[in-house]
Chains A and B, each alone.
Chain A
Amino acid sequence: GDSVTQMEGPVTLSEEAFLTINCTYTATGYPSLFWYVQYPGEGLQLLLKATKADDKGSNKGFEATYRKETTSFHLEKGSVQVSDSAVYFCALSDMRFGAGTRLTVKP
């Protein structure tokens, strides 16, 4: 069946460092791909999405490109801030989520 594999955490970075969180998937058909974020004490919220191959989703300085040839949707940000500390989840449109990657950014 369909599945999502995320880079294991936790990830700890210094402020202004470059971030990559890897996400790969297996799926039949052509799902849409999502990144959700869960800030401390808050509910899950959409960060960005891509609906077809080669689409790039972006929001709040984060980007991810739908790569059909490598079945990947890696999340990147050029310069992280302390306020980016959260748990990040990769997901498919058929309701499957990765296990989550906890990011801590230190000043």
Chain B
Amino acid sequence: GAGVSQTPSNKVTEKGKYVELRCDPISGHTALYWYRQSLGQGPEFLIYFQGTGAADDSGLPNDRFFAVRPEGSVSTLKIQRTERGDSAVYLCASSLGGGPQSTDTQYFGPGTRLTVL
């Protein structure tokens, strides 16, 4: 079956604009994760969904960042009033179960490269 897909693959926006990044997880995966990866760094956890609910949003850096997963499948990461420091690759991953202490493998999408000018 298809893997995790993310759209768009690249997004260039201007400071202060609003952006939405989309993630399509593997069918049947209940857990979905968003990460942010800056150049030369490892993925930084943002938020984790179990089904439709955000089970852990402790990684969201501030209230400009918000994510939804209304039907327990596709998720959208929303960033308001973008800043140059938001420039990074945003990764999405899904797994069958998930969460702390989980043994499940996370399957990653190719990422969306966000550039804020």
Select A95's contact among B45, B109, B110, beta carbons within 8 Å: B45
Asked whether A97 lies within 8 Å of B43 as measured between CB atoms, the reply is yes
Question: B-side binding surface: helix, strand, loop or mixed?
Answer: loop
Residues of chain A from 2 to 31 with CB closer than 8 A to chain B in the complex: 4, 6, 29-31
Tell me, yes or no, whether A71 is within 8 Å of chain B by CB. Answer: no
Tell me, yes or no, whether A54 is within 8 Å of chain B by CB. Answer: no
Residues of chain A from 34 to 91 with CB closer than 8 A to chain B in the complex: 34, 36, 42-46, 49, 51, 89, 91
Which candidate, B18-26, B74-82, B100-108, is the interface stretch facing chain A? B100-108
Q: Which residues of chain B are within 8 angstroms of A36 by Cβ–Cβ distance? A: 108
CA distance A32 to B106 in the complex (A): 12
Select A94's contact among B42, B44, B101, B103, beta carbons within 8 Å: B101
CA distance A4 to B111 in the complex (A): 22
Query: Which of the four size classes fits the interface of chain A?
Result: 20 to 34
Shortest CB distance A38–B (Å)? 9
Which A residues lie at the B interface, using CB under 8 A?
Answer: 4, 6, 29-32, 34, 36, 42-46, 49, 51, 89, 91, 93-100
Which B residues lie at the A interface, using CB under 8 A?
Answer: 33, 35, 40-45, 48, 56, 59, 91, 93, 100-103, 105-111
